[in-house]
């Protein structure tokens, strides 16, 4: 089963249990040299940034759950693409599946979306400073 790094809505264990019932939560992970962003479509993605780190959770993703996750992430419609990225774990650097937003434009989060992501980040005990950084997107794109 591949590792999957979730940094947005899929950090929520209850939602993932419905979407991907055969997958198992592993723990925290970090994607170095990237930053958390909200795409113009209102959903989370990551962008390269040599000075930043994106925190999230790792799932041991059952192969049987991949099609449901692809549908949820809008892969066939071009919202997200899949890639393998090196992710920091308690056991060292591991390659993990990640969904990357195709949109390069920044935007404001959809109503209620970021709040649910922030609740999942808190439940996963992601660093408080990182959660505050994410919370800044409630005001829209930085700058």
Residue 67 pLDDT > 70, yes or no? Answer: yes
Domain ranges, residue 73: 3-134
- pLDDT of res. 142: 79
Does 141 map to a domain? Answer: no
Instruction: Give me the mean pLDDT over the 13-19 stretch.
Output: 96
Residue 140 is assigned to a structural domain of this protein: no
- The answer to whether the predicted template modeling score (pTM) of the entire model surpasses 0.75 is yes
Give domain status of residue 22, yes or no.
yes
Domain of residue 96, CATH code: 3.10.490.10
3 state DSSP class of 129: helix
Alpha-carbon distance of 1 to 131, in angstroms, equals 29
Which residues are CB-neighbours of 70 under 8 A, at least 6 positions away? 76, 82
Q: Where residue 59 falls among pLDDT bands split at 50, 70, 90? A: very high
pLDDT confidence tier of residue 22, bands split at 50, 70 and 90:
very high
Query: Is the pLDDT confidence value at 143 over 80?
Result: no
Tokens representing 23 are 């997958």
Query: Does residue 106 sit within a domain?
Result: yes
pLDDT mean over 78-92: 96
**Within a domain: 30:** yes
Query: Does 64 have pLDDT greater than 80?
Result: yes
Q: How confident is the model at residue 141 (pLDDT cuts 50, 70, 90)?
A: confident
**Domains held by the chain: number:** 1
């Amino acid at each position: 089963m591949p590792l999957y790094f979730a940094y947005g809505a899929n950090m929520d264990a209850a939602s993932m249990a419905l979407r991907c019932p055969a997958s198992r939560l592993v723990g925290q992970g970090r994607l170095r040299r990237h930053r958390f962003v909200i795409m113009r479509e209102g959903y989370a993605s990551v962008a390269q940034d040599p000075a930043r780190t994106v925190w999230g959770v790792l799932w041991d993703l059952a192969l049987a759950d991949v099609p449901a996750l692809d549908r949820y992430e809008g892969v066939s419609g071009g919202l997200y693409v899949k890639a393998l990225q090196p992710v920091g774990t308690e056991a060292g650097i591991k390659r993990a599946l990640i969904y990357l937003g195709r949109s390069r434009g920044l935007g404001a989060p959809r109503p209620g979306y970021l709040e649910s992501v922030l609740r999942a980040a808190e439940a996963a005990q992601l660093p408080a400073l990182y959660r505050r950084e994410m919370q800044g997107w409630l005001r829209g794109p930085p700058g």
